[in-house]
Chains A and B, each alone.
Chain A
Amino acid sequence: MKFRDKQPALYWCGVALVAIALIALPLVLTMVGTAWVRITNLAILFIFLALGLNIVVGFAGLLDLGYIAFYAVGAYVYALLASPHFGLHLPFWVILPIGAFFACVAGALLGAPTLRLRGDYLAIVTLGFGEIVRILINNLSSPFNITNGPKGITRIDPFQIGNLEFYNSDTWLGILFTGPAKYYYILLLILLAVIAINLRLQKSRIGRAWVAIREDEIAAKACGINTRNVKLLAFAMGASFGGIAGGMFSAIQGFVSPESFILHESIMVLSMVVLGGMGNVWGVIAGALLLSFVPELLRYTVEPAQQALFGQMLVDPEVLRMLIFGAALVLTMRFRPAGLWPESRHRQEFAGGATHE
């Protein structure tokens, strides 16, 4: 029996408390420093990305190492359609779906030739795809300037709903709402919708088909699942989540450049999914939060700690972060292969030592 049915009063009290905490969070963080609200916003974007990748890696079991390419597609679609670069200034609710659509097309383009491939081949091809997208963005500045090359695109429009601007501060009911805080609320709303979609998706007919393919593709095929279409759908759907996240990233940062879409970012998102628990929505969210905030904490602690211990900076926090990611991937796979918060089915699979041969 679920906790919700056993103790309804307690359950709803808990939900209310969490809701109040989530609403109050940016206001509290603003007092600490607006930087932390920005960090929280980025963390939410990474949750979007991790959830999108989770569809591909966690649900369908297809290892995608070029996921950041879809984020890049979304970000650049937004940047091109809402900046002085082309002189276009469409509202964000028009662009975000367009970005999602383009990312979705990119996902299908990547998926179509690679569908027949097994896990490790797929990983390398997706890696190559990610690189192709990055190389394209870097070089599509001549002879026709589309992406503005390595310089990136600046002065991207922020979100705007009617007269409500998202980049400046406003005071309502005597409370100061900074730009990042306003973004936080819209991100939170979209996040809730995305989580709901993911949870429903997991239990849906398609979600179960994905799991079936992940567990045994031949058996899934024998059960009448159109594996080609269902895998393609996983790619396309994961990609469109990435595209939406990319568009919001563009708007929040106001600036995009190819630097933001390197392989390390793909690996970071993959680490979030793997560490949190492939296939488990809540685990993936926890993984994304963990890997978003730990590096920030490192930034504030590693430097003083090293100064105190050795009198100089030995290890750059950025490098330490990557070392920790690497070690986290290795250690998670060796000692908790299903992640910190595994999905129940994955847990069985890894415990049973099932081999895929």
Chain B
Amino acid sequence: MEIFIQQIINGLTTGSVYALVALGYTMVYGVIQLINFAHGEVVMIGAMVAFSVITALAGTAAPLPPAAILLAGVAAAIPACMAIGYLLERIAYRPLRHAPRLAPLITAIGMSIILQHLALLVWSRNPMAFPQIVDNPVFTIGGAAITGVQIAIILLSVVLMAALTWFVYRTRFGIAIRATAENVHVASLMGVDANRVIAATFVIAAALAAVAGVMVGTYYGITHYTMGFMLGLKAFSAAVLGGIGNLAGAMLGGILLGLVEALGAGYIGDLTDICKWPLMKEAVAERCAADGHLILMGSNYQDVFAFLVLIAVLVFRPSGLLGERVSERA
């Protein structure tokens, strides 16, 4: 039972990060019906910028209080990522808005490679230890541990999601975004500057990605120039799971995917332990004798779950859990 609660806590934490990144995918998809392929790299840049700022500030003779340093890291990462989000839209998407669908996808892949390798040049080829400056108290719930960082990540994600929902549903600009998502031509006729809305969507998505990047860095304590790739893929799976184009869907999908992954990683070892399968027990008794386990798939298969979820959703419910739109608009 402790394992179960522990994996739920871990799942909620990673799930909140996925949700923030998934929101970026889903918002951009909403307005231009295209996947922002380089979104994962924006998360990575966010983590990297925060890493540099935090390392620099923490290394001074009279360092600021840890919370202020962390805030400074986030404050630096957000504008940096917003700039990159804007550039992405201007370079990879806007010039190709009327090209065949494949074209912007390929430019975005190109941008993603460029961002990755620029990060490699600027920072490092090796994983870098994210400075752990804030105290990380450990609390216990029902025998499972939850750290201060995990609580902070979950709370901050909830606040950000609430703020985003308010922005999209309650402000003038939010209405413009929703109008563009509904129908870009009609929105233009109503006086909405579609280019501005699309660029703003990329920028907002990038700001969320920046925060997510800092969260990942603090949580795992490590940054690497390739970290955006897997994270981006998973967040995209989360967005699809929830129903791409749907804000609530991205949040739900993110949390669910985090839970599936954590529980999967927590239990797959036990489930695929052949020594516990009644039918197989006899056949492999010899090898079970050694230490009583013969595990087919351990937690090193964790990364596979996101894809299995993605494929399953696409096969059985392409519009996602909350999506109304049919994903297949030829």
Within 8 A of A (CB), among B176-209: none
Cβ of B307 and Cβ of A120 under 8 Å apart? no
B301, A139: Cβ atoms closer than 8 Å: yes
Q: Which of A119, A124, A326 contacts B236 (CB 8 A)?
A: A124
Q: Does A165 touch B at the CB level, under 8 Å?
A: no
Out of B100, B240, B330, name the residue touching A350 (CB < 8 Å): B100
Residue of B nearest to A264 (CB): B113
Complex CA–CA separation, A131 to B304 (angstroms): 8
Residues of B within 8 A of A326 (CB): 109-114, 117
* Beta-carbon contacts under 8 Å, B296-322 to A: 296-298, 300-301, 303-304, 306-307, 310-311, 314-315, 318
Give the distance in Å from the alpha carbon of A138 to the alpha carbon of B233 in the complex.
19
- Bits for A265-290, please: 1 = Cβ < 8 Å to B, else 0: 00100100010000000000000000
Would A131 and B307 be within 8 Å (CB), given that A124-B233, A330-B110 are in contact? yes
- Residues of chain A with a CB closer than 8 A to B98's CB: 353, 355
Contact A124 B107 (CB under 8 A): no
Contacts of A218 in B (CB 8 A): 330
Taken together as a complex, chains A and B put the C-alpha atoms of A65 and B37 apart, in Å, by 12
The 8 Å CB contact of A263, one of B99, B114, B229, is B229
In the complex the two chains form, is B35's CB within 8 Å of A132's CB?
Answer: no
Contact between B105 and A63, CB atoms less than 8 A apart: yes
CB–CB A128/B233 < 8 A: yes
Q: How far is the CB of B304 from chain A (nearest CB, A)?
A: 6
Whether, in the assembled complex, B34 has its beta carbon less than 8 Å from a beta carbon of chain A, the answer is yes
* B89 CB to nearest chain A CB (Å): 13
A308 close to chain B: CB less than 8 A? no
The B interface is mostly helix, strand or loop, or mixed, namely helix
Q: Which of A110-118, A175-183, A228-236, A250-258 is the interface stretch?
A: A110-118
Asked whether B101 is an interface residue with its Cβ less than 8 Å from the other chain, the reply is: yes
Q: Are B109 and A270 in contact (CB under 8 A)?
A: yes
User: Would you call B300 and A139 a contact (CB within 8 A)?
Assistant: yes
Q: Does A356 contact B (CB under 8 A)?
A: yes
Asked whether, in the complex, the Cβ of B121 is within 8 Å of the Cβ of A143, the reply is no
Q: Which secondary structure characterizes the binding site on chain A? A: helix
B132 interface residue (CB < 8 Å to A): no
| Residue B55 CB within 8 A of the other chain | no
With A143-B287, A356-B100 known as contacts, the answer to whether A123 contacts B105 (CB < 8 A) is yes
Does B91 have its Cβ within 8 Å of any Cβ on chain A? yes
Whether A118 and B330, one on each chain, are in contact in the complex, defined by CB atoms closer than 8 angstroms, is yes
Query: Is B287 within 8 A of A319, CB to CB?
Result: no
> Are B109 and A329 in contact (CB-based, < 8 A)?
yes
- Decide if A119 touches B328 in the complex (CB within 8 Å): no
Q: What residues of A have a CB within 8 angstroms of the CB of B172 in the complex?
A: none
For B, the interface residue count at a CB cutoff of 8 angstroms equals: 56
Query: B111 contacts which of A118, A119, A330 (Cβ < 8 Å)?
Result: A330
B100:A267 contact, CB within 8 angstroms: no
- Point out the residues of chain B lying under 8 angstroms from A263, CB to CB: 229
A-side interface size class = 35 or more
Contact A132 B310 (CB under 8 A): no
Cα(A63)–Cα(B303), bound, Å: 22
A117 to B91, CA, bound (A): 26
Tell whether A206 is near chain B: CB-to-CB under 8 Å: no
- Residue B67 at the A interface, CB < 8 A? no
Question: Do B117 and A319 touch across chains, with their CB atoms under 8 A apart?
Answer: yes
Q: Is the CB of A121 within 8 A of B237?
A: no
* Residue A125 lies at the interface, judged by CB distance under 8 Å to chain B: yes
- Shortest B195–chain A CB gap in Å is 17
Alpha-carbon separation in the docked complex, A129 to B103 (Å): 22
Q: Is A201 an interface residue (CB 8 A)?
A: no
Contact of A131 among B101, B233, B318 (CB under 8 A): B233
Complex CA–CA separation, A263 to B112 (angstroms): 12
In chain A, residues 317-340, which have Cβ atoms closer than 8 Å to a Cβ of chain B?
319, 322-323, 325-330, 332-334, 337
Determine which residue in B101, B102, B310, B327 has the highest number of CB atoms from chain A within 10 A of its CB, and name it: B102
What 0/1 pattern do residues 210 to 230 of A give for CB contact below 8 A with B?
A: 000000011000000000000
State in angstroms the CA–CA spacing of A119 and B327 once bound together: 11
Minimum C-beta distance from B325 to chain A (A): 12
Q: Are B110 and A127 in contact (CB under 8 A)?
A: no
Q: Does B142 contact A (CB under 8 A)?
A: no
Asked if A189 is an interface residue, CB under 8 A from chain B, the answer is no
| Assembled-state Cα–Cα distance A124/B22 (Å) | 14
Contacts of A259 in B (CB 8 A): none
Query: What residues of chain A lie closer than 8 Å to B107, measured between beta carbons?
Result: 329-330, 333-334
Nearest CB of B to A353, in Å: 6
How far, in whole Å, are A123 and B292 apart by their CA atoms in the complex?
42
Q: Are the CB atoms of A334 and B114 closer together than 8 Å?
A: no
A106 to chain B, nearest CB (A): 14
Question: Within residues 113 to 162 of chain B, which ones have a CB less than 8 A from any CB in chain A?
Answer: 113-114, 116-118, 120-121
- Could you tell me the distance between the alpha carbons of A129 and B294 in the complex, rounded to whole angstroms? 26
B103 and A333 form a contact (CB under 8 A): yes
Interface assignment of A315: CB less than 8 Å from any CB of chain B: yes
Bound together, the chains give a CA A30 to CA B287 distance in angstroms of 52
B102 lies within 8 A of A323 (CB): no
A198 to nearest B CB, angstroms? 20
A61, CB-defined interface residue at 8 Å: yes
Bits for A75-115, please: 1 = Cβ < 8 Å to B, else 0.
Answer: 00000000000000000000000000000000000000110
Whether A135 and B105, one on each chain, are in contact in the complex, defined by CB atoms closer than 8 angstroms, is no
* Residue numbers in B under 8 Å from A274 (CB-CB): 106
Residues of B within 8 A of A31 (CB): none
Residues of chain A with a CB closer than 8 A to B121's CB: 315, 319
Contact among A117, A143, A323, A356 with B117 in the assembled complex (CB-CB below 8 Å): A323
- Is the CB of B92 closer than 8 A to any CB of chain A? yes
Given A315-B121, A333-B99, CB of A325 within 8 Å of CB of B301: no
| B contact set with A: CB distance below 8 Å | 34-35, 37, 91-92, 95-96, 98-107, 109-114, 116-118, 120-121, 229-230, 233, 236-237, 240, 274, 287, 294-298, 300-301, 303-304, 306-307, 310-311, 314-315, 318, 327-330
Contacts A121-B35, A131-B230, A323-B114 known; list 6 others, CB within 8 Å: A128-B237, A131-B307, A274-B106, A333-B107, A337-B99, A355-B100
What residues make up the interface of A, taking CB atoms closer than 8 Å to B? Answer: 61, 63, 65, 113-114, 116-121, 123-125, 127-129, 131-132, 135, 138-139, 142-143, 217-218, 263, 267, 270, 274, 315, 319, 322-323, 325-330, 332-334, 337, 349-350, 353-357
